[in-house]
Structure 1
Amino acid sequence: MIDLLNQPSNRPRIDFKIVTGIMGGLIFFLGVALLFPLFIALFYNETSWIAFLYTAVPSMLIGAALFFIFKPKYELRMREAFLIVTLTWFVGSLIGAFPFTISGTLQSYTDAVFEAMSGLSTTGATILGGVTSDGIQNPAIEDIDKSLLFWRSLSHWLGGMGIIVLTLALLPLLGIGGMQLYKAEYSGSTSDKLTPRIQETALLLWSVYVGMTFVQFLLLWVHPSMDWFDAINHAFATLATGGFSTKNGSIASFDSAYIDIIITIFMFLAGINFAMHFRLLSGDVKSFFENREFRFYSLLAILFTILISGGLWLIDNYEFGDALRYGSFQVISILTTTGFGSDDYALWMPFTSFLLFLLFFSGGTAGSTGGGIKMIRILIILKNVGREFKQIIHPQAVIPVRVGNRVIESTILKNILGFFVVYFIVFAIGSIIMSFMGYDFMSAMGASIASLGNIGPGWGEFGPTDEYAGVPYIGKWVLLLLMMIGRLELFTVLVIFTPWFWKN
């Protein structure tokens, strides 16, 4: 039991024993997760089961040992939470990479870490099917073991809702201190707590997540173009807004309007705050449809679907049905940062492709599994712009920024403005580094925003039919760092690199 009252006065600014103990618990659960693809390997009689065994067992043993040796005794504080969350995604990717290398599927450990980080961060960028900068041919997606494909999709699914939220649901020993992890990792606001106890909240969110995944799995499985394996993998990747597919051609490989429609619907649902889903399922229909962020999110989805589908029909000369099918799919795929592809948008005319490019700087709603900037931040910025115009006309008036009936406090507004500034600075730095490595303007920007926004496919040499295998190894570490920074909402990671984090 964690002691919240009798805490020592001489506790260090960062208690590394607590950090190590909780990290041990997280590593243990990651090891448990690695048993599922092991069973898939045994089911399909694949030799890669050994790779998962060699990764899962040490992870569980080391994780359990670290947890019980450094079992948390005191309340978790915010600095420790930031450190744990960042280390979880980084260490989780280092561990999750081992099955790719131990099985001999990938020769480069950097490529394996890139694939693992892309999975856990729900980015969906891949190095499979391409040639590395030193001439190594990576196998195509459809040529690797099904167990490895399952691990890619499962890592999406775990990273989507958050492996830390999962742990909070299963590890009540964290007690009230677990709220610090929830606030550091979960992209929704603390007002989305559905119950007074964080473990109950996490279980409710996961129940909705699991239920929606199961429903989509069944709807995909009934179609003859998908067997149960394809259906479960694509359900995992959709609800996590991840984008890993079991096919080289992504969703386009199935060439089915039915599959496109089902995945489009569930991508849209995955881009909505899961606390709102729970309230809707609990009968609170009014608060769901009156939510301003949901309305803004839906409005953008409808507006861009009309514009892009209209552009495909009138400018790109698609048939009307195909224009609506492919236009709506790609709009929702990019808007929610899923990154699935049903058509090669790199071949679209400038009008439609530029509109789609704008969506790379959006994201789902707060509390969804989507990455990116998030709808609520964009909405508040637009509200602030409107306030500034009113202030010019009425300079003496006190005009607050409102979202619905809620007045946005100045501290929240400053935080959001700061987020935008830092987001575009990080995006610019990533683009500069990629251009320094010899990539053209659109390729450099596309790789940077696709990684930071957790989208996956980008532009130029990193379009929807391309991969990231040829990026120099240093560049891959830069991109996978951008994936982690974007998944953890920038400040959670970046604050660790400031001197103030380590000082009293």
Structure 2
Amino acid sequence: MALVSNSSAPRANIDFFMVLGILGAFIFFMGFALLMPAGVDLIYGQDTWHSFLVSAGIAFSLGGLLWYFFKPQQELRIREGFLIVSLTWLSLSLVGALPFVISGVLPSFTDAVFETMSGLTTTGSTILGGATSDGFQNPQIEDIPKSFLFWRSLAHWLGGMGIIVLSLAILPLLGIGGMQLFQAESPGPTTDKLTPRVQETAKLLWVVYVALTGAEFLLLWAHPSMDWFEAINHAFSTLATGGFSTQNTSIQAFDSAYIDWVIIVFMFLAGINFAMHFRLFRGDAQSFFANREIRFYTLIIGIGILIISGSLLVIDKYPIFEALRYGAFQVLAIVTTTGFGTDDYEIWNTIGAFFLFLLFFTGGCAGSTGGGIKMVRWMILIRNTGREIKQIVHPKAILPVRIGDQAISQHIQRTVLSFFILYIFIFALGAFIISLFGYDIMSSIGASIAAIGNIGPGWGDFGPTDNFAHLPYLGKWVLIMLMMVGRLEIFTVLIIFSPAFWKQ
């Protein structure tokens, strides 16, 4: 049974029945994800498994009913795709927050949604370990049941490659109009399809994702300070460039150079376009190493490590290998927007801390699990600026913007410039709103860029050794929306607020 209009009748501008039906399918899929932490609970003999079973039952019931009554009968269009993606991330965060509240781990639904959205968007900001604005003390990270630690990391991992991309890979029922969902959720300036079929592309990307996750898991598990549970959680968080840890002091708690360097390597890999990883695995090393964005990404990271590690060595008097270890780790954690921590960068010298702050506005490669502005956009902006300078000197010359041998179209240049302007405007607006709650300028700036850049830690009262629990509830909802806007790269969310989106 499907309560949709007859296929022969004229379709409305947006088929809301179809939107509800596909949204129901994603909620139903979330039910399966909610069952996995319950299994962890049973393994460790803890008693919060029922909260995940109840939440899964709600997801199965609600999602199943929506799909049953509103199952799509026609081809999905691009506007419906954008609306579905935005509503999916919001609705899955609401459903994913239920176990926290049902179990009593987090009595505040706002805090539960914040933690879940932070997980799914791979932001990694947390409200655990701090007192809320109304005086309630949230539990420390180490004190919550292991099932919830696993759920936080699993949310990272699912959100990293994208819940919708995962669904396209394993649920043929969503093959209808799949490209609209794929493009809406991965709206970067470049599209790299590995196969003509979006479902096959999604499967190939997930094969690479799972393979890299498995490799990091085994390398971490090999170290005596990490058991299998610690290893799988941190592998999930690293490949998703998320940053949730099982320890309140993050990776610093393990105090291991080996673990630091393993995570450094996989943070670097996670920040690279996964389509390029697939080509490398297939033996096409030339395409991988000749890719201009990967080269630029590596260059920025190299410069960051050189400057920050050098400042730690010369000014803060770190031993040379410690300076390289901590400098490299924090550079990768910020550039890739993973947000793990091994040192408190707020107490570094001014040069190192300032340059790290600049890296908050970079991001990984397009097609990676990293957030932020993305390296390819910076390349286009830099090349366009250089072109404009040359145009002033040679006003009659035709000077195309190129990356390698590829000329960048005017359309892409305008889109990138618009994205950059919107990104800075929304970041500034977010910082202004947070400042209205009484926070100083660095705290406000840090909270806003941490959310919209999906980075995790910020500055000031939201630095790497702090949390977001003390932020008033309205402020948390502001950051929740910033996380979603940043994860979906602004246009996907903002477009649905445009009058043109709703006009026939």
Partner Cα distance (2:15, 2:228) in 1? 46
In structure 1, give the amino acid aligned to 2:321.
Answer: G
Tell me what 1:3 maps to: none
Tell me what 2:258 maps to: 258
Give runs of aligned pairs for residues 161-180 of structure 1, distance below 5 A: 161-180=161-180
Partner Cα distance (2:420, 2:266) in 1? 28
- Structure 1 position 242 matched with structure 2 position 225: no
Q: CA deviation at 1:17?
A: 1.1
In structure 2, give the amino acid aligned to 1:232.
Answer: I
Q: Which runs of 4+ in 1 moved over 2 A?
A: 6-9, 173-176, 187-191
Unpaired segments of 5 or more residues in structure 2? Answer: 1-5
In structure 2, give the amino acid aligned to 1:132.
Answer: T
Unpaired segments of 5 or more residues in structure 1? Answer: 1-5
Confirm or deny: 8 A CA contact 2:189 2:412 kept in the other structure: no
Tell me what 2:309 maps to: 309
Tell me what 1:439 maps to: 439
Confirm or deny: 8 A CA contact 1:188 1:273 kept in the other structure: no
Partner Cα distance (1:189, 1:183) in 2? 11
Partner Cα distance (1:30, 1:173) in 2? 16
Tell me what 1:321 maps to: 321
Partner Cα distance (1:92, 1:347) in 2? 37
Q: CA deviation at 1:176?
A: 4.8
Partner Cα distance (2:228, 2:446) in 1? 34
- Structure 1 position 221 matched with structure 2 position 221: yes
Q: CA deviation at 1:66?
A: 1.5
Give runs of aligned pairs for residues 347-362 of structure 1, distance below 5 A: 347-362=347-362
Partner Cα distance (1:310, 1:252) in 2? 21
- Structure 1 position 483 matched with structure 2 position 488: no
Partner Cα distance (2:155, 2:463) in 1? 23
Q: Percent identity?
A: 64
Partner Cα distance (2:204, 2:70) in 1? 29
Tell me what 2:338 maps to: 338
Partner Cα distance (1:370, 1:207) in 2? 18
Q: CA deviation at 1:42?
A: 1.0
Q: Can you list the C-alpha shifts for 1:348-407, whole angstroms capped at 9, x where unaligned?
A: 011000000001001000000000000000000000011011111111101000011111
Evaluate the alpha carbon distance shift between residue 324 and residue 437 of structure 1 in structure 2; reply closer, same or farther with a 3 A threshold: same
Q: Can you list the C-alpha shifts for 1:59-102, whole angstroms capped at 9, x where unaligned?
A: 11221222132111111111111111111110111011111111
In structure 2, give the amino acid aligned to 1:131.
Answer: A
Confirm or deny: 8 A CA contact 2:189 2:377 kept in the other structure: no
Q: Can you list the C-alpha shifts for 1:165-223, whole angstroms capped at 9, x where unaligned?
A: 01111222233511000000024566411111111110110010001000000000000
In structure 1, give the amino acid aligned to 2:289.
Answer: F
SS of the residue corresponding to residue 396 of structure 1 reads coil
Evaluate the alpha carbon distance shift between residue 7 and residue 382 of structure 1 in structure 2; reply closer, same or farther with a 3 A threshold: farther
In structure 2, give the amino acid aligned to 1:253.
Answer: A
Evaluate the alpha carbon distance shift between residue 317 and residue 8 of structure 1 in structure 2; reply closer, same or farther with a 3 A threshold: farther
Confirm or deny: 8 A CA contact 2:366 2:375 kept in the other structure: yes
SS of the residue corresponding to residue 316 of structure 1 reads coil
Partner Cα distance (1:289, 1:377) in 2? 19
Tell me what 1:122 maps to: 122
Tell me what 1:184 maps to: 184
Tell me what 1:44 maps to: 44
Confirm or deny: 8 A CA contact 1:183 1:190 kept in the other structure: no
Q: CA deviation at 1:7?
A: 5.5
- Structure 1 position 453 matched with structure 2 position 450: no
Confirm or deny: 8 A CA contact 2:157 2:239 kept in the other structure: yes
SS of the residue corresponding to residue 465 of structure 1 reads coil
Q: CA deviation at 1:44?
A: 1.0
How many residues are paired up? 499
Partner Cα distance (1:133, 1:234) in 2? 30
- Structure 1 position 82 matched with structure 2 position 82: yes
Q: CA deviation at 1:501?
A: 1.4
Partner Cα distance (2:65, 2:145) in 1? 31
Q: Can you list the C-alpha shifts for 1:18-62, whole angstroms capped at 9, x where unaligned?
A: 111111110111110011001001111111101000001221122
Partner Cα distance (1:188, 1:205) in 2? 16
Partner Cα distance (1:374, 1:128) in 2? 29
Partner Cα distance (1:15, 1:293) in 2? 39
SS of the residue corresponding to residue 177 of structure 2 reads helix
Partner Cα distance (1:21, 1:42) in 2? 33
Confirm or deny: 8 A CA contact 2:188 2:489 kept in the other structure: no
SS of the residue corresponding to residue 134 of structure 2 reads coil
SS of the residue corresponding to residue 123 of structure 2 reads coil
Give runs of aligned pairs for residues 295-306 of structure 1, distance below 5 A: 295-306=295-306
Q: Can you list the C-alpha shifts for 1:256-281, whole angstroms capped at 9, x where unaligned?
A: 00000000000000000000000000
Confirm or deny: 8 A CA contact 1:13 1:502 kept in the other structure: yes
Q: Can you list the C-alpha shifts for 1:134-153, whole angstroms capped at 9, x where unaligned?
A: 00000000000000000000
Partner Cα distance (1:443, 1:8) in 2? 56
Partner Cα distance (1:280, 1:188) in 2? 21
Partner Cα distance (1:34, 1:158) in 2? 12
Evaluate the alpha carbon distance shift between residue 323 and residue 387 of structure 1 in structure 2; reply closer, same or farther with a 3 A threshold: same
Tell me what 1:206 maps to: 206
Evaluate the alpha carbon distance shift between residue 280 and residue 130 of structure 1 in structure 2; reply closer, same or farther with a 3 A threshold: same
Confirm or deny: 8 A CA contact 1:187 1:367 kept in the other structure: no
Partner Cα distance (1:187, 1:298) in 2? 23
SS of the residue corresponding to residue 369 of structure 2 reads coil
Tell me what 2:386 maps to: 386
Partner Cα distance (1:391, 1:125) in 2? 44
Tell me what 1:430 maps to: 430
Partner Cα distance (1:190, 1:37) in 2? 36
Evaluate the alpha carbon distance shift between residue 25 and residue 252 of structure 1 in structure 2; reply closer, same or farther with a 3 A threshold: same
Confirm or deny: 8 A CA contact 2:451 2:483 kept in the other structure: yes
Evaluate the alpha carbon distance shift between residue 39 and residue 246 of structure 1 in structure 2; reply closer, same or farther with a 3 A threshold: same
Of 491-500 and 431-440, more deviation after overlay is shown by: 491-500
Of 194-203 and 6-15, more deviation after overlay is shown by: 6-15
Q: CA deviation at 1:424?
A: 0.5
Partner Cα distance (1:165, 1:16) in 2? 21
Tell me what 2:3 maps to: none
Partner Cα distance (1:188, 1:436) in 2? 32
